[in-house]
Structure 1
Amino acid sequence: MSIKYEIQSIKNSQGTGKERHFARIFEGTPMSAQQLESYIQSSCSLTKGDVEATLSALRECMIQHLSHGNRFYIPSIGYFSLSVNLNMPEDKPIDKARADYISVRNINFRPDVSMLQEVKRNVHFERAKFSTKSKEHTEEMMLEKIKEYLSTNICINRRAMEIHFGLRQNSALKWLKHFTEIGVLRKEGARNSPVYFMNKQEI
């Protein structure tokens, strides 16, 4: 089965004034635990219970080793390792750095060479007939759309921007942040689900 992709662009890439193109793939839905157990059971003599117990033991082993700062290797699959953040005050001398300034950011994965090569051999790409790229709007166009929306609705939020204006999540958030910063919109509500109102002078 081919992997669908689309070509997108970044204007003024890294401030050079040039446009950089990149490919974005459409990732499929990951297998559920039940699907994985069924797949492995059909491929060998292990039962679903055996698979579930093995995955649970593997998880605990990974946690233990990574928590001690060790890399964790799964044969023929690859290496897992920690990446960390340093949250140290800027005016703090390096020799005064404390352990509590360091925190785990993520878990990195580096595939085994043989696995990566096999994936490369099996992959086929096909250009998608649709696009997830946000529609491009000028500031004036977007402000007009927001005003029109708020003429019949009490407030606006990120989800409404995505649905009604054809924006992706990041673009919707950037526009809301921009209009809030310049005083066009007023942000209210919970931090994880804010809503935005038009300031009176903009009505």
Structure 2
Amino acid sequence: MKFKMMKKKEGEILFDFYTVPNAKNKDEMIYCVRPVIQRTVTANDLATRIEKECTLTRADVKAVIEALSNHIANCLANGERVHLPNLGYFNLKLKSDVKIDPNKTKANHISYDTTGFTPDKGFNNQLINMAFRRCPLMHGKYPTKEKIVEKLKQFFDSGKTSFVRAHIETAFGVSRSTAHRIIKDLLQSGKIVNENTKRNPIYVKGPNF
């Protein structure tokens, strides 16, 4: 089993296709496109980057982000819309637990749904010239159990003793979520075991392999 990590160029957006049912023809599937998210940038990441560009410290930036989040939530809870220049507008979206009839739907049927965001034109303009490349991983395609066992046997027979989730992604050409499913199935069947911590797992051959 050949383990080779996927590489992405700086500023390059990986994309993939997925299917959804056609609302007009239930027997037909429509292809849509979406970006492949490889990691989540945290408040700590943003604070570290912003600290390098201004006089604010990392702690200052984190405190501002937390305060900003709280104040936006308070404004929305007061029925207000929030506009951050060069970023965009935040506003409430509501839902009803019954089919809406203006003459019958009461306040107790209405609840918070989510927060909407509409980006400013200037914010959008920063994103229009991105470079794109199709992700080489086959998202959502789950290999057969026979194929999984066959590749793992080849891997262990070659003298290697351990692997991590990212290796599964590349070896089988699947997404992170599919790799997690493969590992979960292998753990449950005893084909592999985690010899490290839960947060940083390292997998080795199990008793039922």
TM-score (structure 2 length as normaliser)? 0.58
Are the equivalent residues in 1 in contact too, given 2:43–2:65 (CA < 8 A)? no
Partner of 2:111: 103
- Highest relative contact order (Cα 8 Å, sep 6+), 1 or 2? 2
Q: 2:54 aligns with which of 44, 68, 74?
A: 44
In the TM superposition, 1:1-203 aligns within 5 A as 1=10, 2-10=12-20, 13-16=22-25, 17-88=27-98, 94-121=102-129, 123-135=130-142, 162-163=181-182
Aligned partners of 2:108 and 2:29: how far apart in 1?
Answer: 41
Q: Which 4+ stretches in 1 moved above 4 angstroms?
A: none
> 2:140 is paired with a residue of what secondary structure?
coil
Residue 75 of structure 1 deviates from its aligned partner by 1.1
- 1:81/1:104 CA distance change after superposition, 3 Å: same
- Percent of paired sites with the same residue: 22
Amino acid at match of 1:132: H
Q: Which residue in 1 is equivalent to 2:166?
A: none
Cα deviations across residues 86-130 of structure 1 (Å, max 9, x unaligned)? 123x5x964343212110010011111111111122x21111111
Cα deviation, 1:29-50, whole Å, max 9, x if unaligned, reads 1222222111111011111222
Q: Is the alpha carbon distance of 1:48 and 1:162 closer, same or farther for their aligned partners in structure 2, counting shifts above 3 Å?
A: closer
Counterpart CA distance in 1 for 2:41 and 2:18 is: 28
Q: Which amino acid in the other structure matches residue 60 of structure 2?
A: D
Hey, which of these two has a bigger chunk of helix by percent?
1
Work out the CA distance in 2 between the residues paired with 1:55 and 1:72: 15
Q: Secondary structure at 2:126's aligned position in 1?
A: helix
> How far apart are 1:82 and its partner, in Å?
0.8
Using the alignment, how far apart are the partners of 2:143 and 2:97 within structure 1? 36
Question: C-alpha distance in 2, partners of 1:37/1:62?
Answer: 19
What is the CA distance between 1:19 and its match in structure 2? 4.3
| SS of corresponding position for 2:95 | strand
AA partner of residue 46 (structure 1): L
Question: Matches of 1:15 and 1:162 in 2, distance apart?
Answer: 33
In the alignment, residue 67 of structure 2 is paired with which amino acid?
A: A
What amino acid does structure 1 have at the position aligned with 2:31? Answer: H
Unaligned residue ranges in structure 2 (runs of 5+): 1-9, 145-177, 186-209
Instruction: Answer yes or no: is the 8 Å Cα contact 2:95–2:110 preserved in 1.
Output: yes
Farther-moved stretch of structure 1 (37-46 vs 49-58): 49-58
